Structure 1
């Protein structure tokens, strides 16, 4: 440490443009916050290692210049000084080092080389090009003619990474062609089956490269969803915990879905500036009445009993019986779904559904969520609230008003179209929407939702547009169109032939 003054100028690369904004600089215990209006601040007691972090929610931050000069006016050479710059507060902060020091007029200027920026983008692409999951993220067990796949990221609630999806797809394709494999069991380690795709990792990859990195993730994920929906062999998903987003896509399309008293299902995408994807417009639209629209728009959570009664689960097995069920399934030497179902039935029970379950309000849900537009749905709920005092109605209205207006309108139209389409058509449409969402030209609600819910956690997203009436039909139409972007391709799903009747996803 020496008596010095350091000037820090940070610029943010956001959507291809540069601008200065607020940031934090930490030097050991010293914390000086820069204001929005002044992007140069001085810190005393300069040390040779400076840690710069940002409160940014989605941007790729670059330290353009760090200038330091001793207050005494003397010159000191720091040719090997290292500046550690994490790229925002993300799940896996990556440190970047600036190793070039140039002494000019008693000032030391540290410049981030352009090739370092390019390397950071390439790291994101390299991660997507790799299909090998790290740290045994997919555990594989062979039990006679059964194969057990365990999602193994318990600290992250088994959130799916690109490498995990690639590995699952690889295994399912191999098992389908292997005559020795009759049954595939999928489960999750810890308190979740799967909480969805790893949104933080996807946002990071987009920021370190382009939105096409995110598009590649969705392409692979939707291909897995379609493979499961058209699988020739029975898949049994043990849903003993959280099942959300991508976790639903990795299970609901399968033949058997076993819920327990620990199951928690939700499609919470509208609160994040997203929309129910992974084929959700297919399986939500096939739930009783307009229950699927209700779940997709509000992000309401269901327990195992509710999953069973609405059709998202095929069986309910108490968690203490799961090990016995798994053992019995592994002893089978059959792909006959009737035989497999009979075995699961031996360990199943009819669960008690709580009195306050939303499913008991299916008549109200049908009256309101059958309306043509989101605005009409909210108006119908408000009329119901005038006629009957019910906390459930007020909470439902609040959920809708907190969600992204753009996401709500996209989601409603997507689910409505899903009623008349096959699972493949639904996935192709959802891929188009996802690409528009990630590109961010029509709206940046995805990145704002990520900031408010997952990064800063202030739960106060600033949606744009901020009101339903500002989201026009033409704007919604744009999300459903093919992209006018050089090199972009529509989702191409693999051809599937000679499938038995039960291979097609049905609820």
Structure 2
């Protein structure tokens, strides 16, 4: 199977999924989601396939997330495409998390938003020295989705809260520390990874795949999140964004100051909603529960002024100067956040 945006092939016993929009950093469209979903179903039923590998074409990134320009246009038009995209993307995330065969994600380069959804739910997550991972949604007036409110609360301490609220990108060592990746392999050896997996016997286990990856792995560098773990835990332990900002203001050093500065540039509504969703995710029993809650919030985002303003500033006018409304965390009322927590209609079917 093959089309312009996704290339599907079988190499030996490896099913390979190649995202093929390198000029758009392999950002996801609805046809891409559908092609990947169909390929995963086909590979699951093919007894000749021992493992599945997801990778991105080009040298800049695995996947930069969903095509937010297309989502913006859909929201403006009110054509329902954005809602359909989220529903099918979230089903794909759940499919990856429950996949019956070893699923290997090669997170080389930019891996953000929907790219995290395509990778971090898998059972074998490989980062490289070029990996830049992020959930950058609060910077575009949106919230972490694709099951991030299930993944991030499982990170050590408050590292996941830091990632979800700041939206800052991190490298391989931080991705490993946060539990969003399993091992590091040099980008120059990714071809060897696919070659080795293609030579595995039919019916090979997850342990067999892990042995291949471990043999090609290398030590990761120092994690900045680990080095600043005590500070992150002290300042991000609150369930109130205002208290987090106040706690950061009391800390000394560049890390706290930069973190606070970044938070003050994010959508206040997105910050408060993201924190609410992350805390709800911490109490949730399953990925499915979190995806359902995220879908409800996403659908309400289609009427949120910050969603349009954030995308305008980031990818349309590219002035990087969004004007948020409300402009401060204090001005975002509780009723506003409750509005985003309405269940999706119809509910997400998985």
TM-score by length of 2: 0.96
**Pick aligned residue for 2:56 from 164, 182, 188:** 188
Q: CA deviation at 1:305?
A: 2.0
The 5-angstrom pairing of residues 311-390 of structure 1 reads 311-333=179-201, 334-353=203-222, 357-384=224-251, 388=252, 390=253
Q: CA deviation at 1:173?
A: 1.4
Q: How does 1:73-472 map to 2 (within 5 A)?
A: 136-190=4-58, 191-210=60-79, 212-333=80-201, 334-353=203-222, 357-384=224-251, 388=252, 390-421=253-284, 422-438=286-302, 440=303, 443-472=304-333
Deviation at 1:372, TM superposition (A): 1.8
8 Å CA contact 2:296–2:340 kept in 1: the answer is yes
Q: Quick check: 2:94–2:287 contact (8 Å CA) kept in 1?
A: yes
Distance 1:230 1:266 in 2: 23
Q: Quick check: which one's strand share is greater?
A: 1
3-state DSSP of counterpart to 1:302: coil
CA distance in 1, matches of 2:276, 2:177: 25
CA distance in 2, matches of 1:491, 1:323: 37
For residues 185 and 330 of structure 1, the distance between their equivalents in structure 2, rounded to whole angstroms, comes to 10
Q: What does residue 334 of structure 2 align with?
A: 473
Return 5+ residue gaps in structure 2 as ranges. none
Which structure 1 segments of 5+ residues have no match?
1-131, 494-507
Q: Give per-residue Cα distances to partners, 1:80-115, cap 9 Å, x unaligned.
A: xxxxxxxxxxxxxxxxxxxxxxxxxxxxxxxxxxxx
The alignment's C-alpha RMSD in Å is 1.4
Q: Which structure has the highest helix share of the two?
A: 2
Runs (4+) off by over 4 Å: none
Instruction: Using the TM superposition, give the Cα deviation of residue 383 of structure 1 relative to its aligned residue in structure 2, in angstroms.
Output: 0.9
Q: Distance in 2 between matches of 1:276 and 1:425?
A: 15
- Distance in 2 of aligned mates of 1:418 and 1:335: 34
Say if 2:89 and 2:146, in contact at 8 Å, map to a contact too.
yes
Separation in 1, partners of 2:299, 2:192: 43
Deviation at 1:335, TM superposition (A): 3.6
Task: Number of aligned residue pairs: give it.
Answer: 347
Shift of 1:286: 0.5
State the alpha-carbon separation in 2 of the partners of residues 307 and 460 from structure 1.
28
TM-score normalised according to structure 1 size: 0.67
Query: What secondary structure does 1:142 align onto?
Result: strand
**1:17-63 CA distance string (max 9 Å, x none):** xxxxxxxxxxxxxxxxxxxxxxxxxxxxxxxxxxxxxxxxxxxxxxx
Larger RCO: Structure 1 or Structure 2 (Cα < 8 Å, ≥ 6 residues apart)? 2
- CA drift of 1:391 comes to 1.6
In 2, distance between residues paired with 1:207 and 1:437? 12
Distance 2:50 2:305 in 1: 45
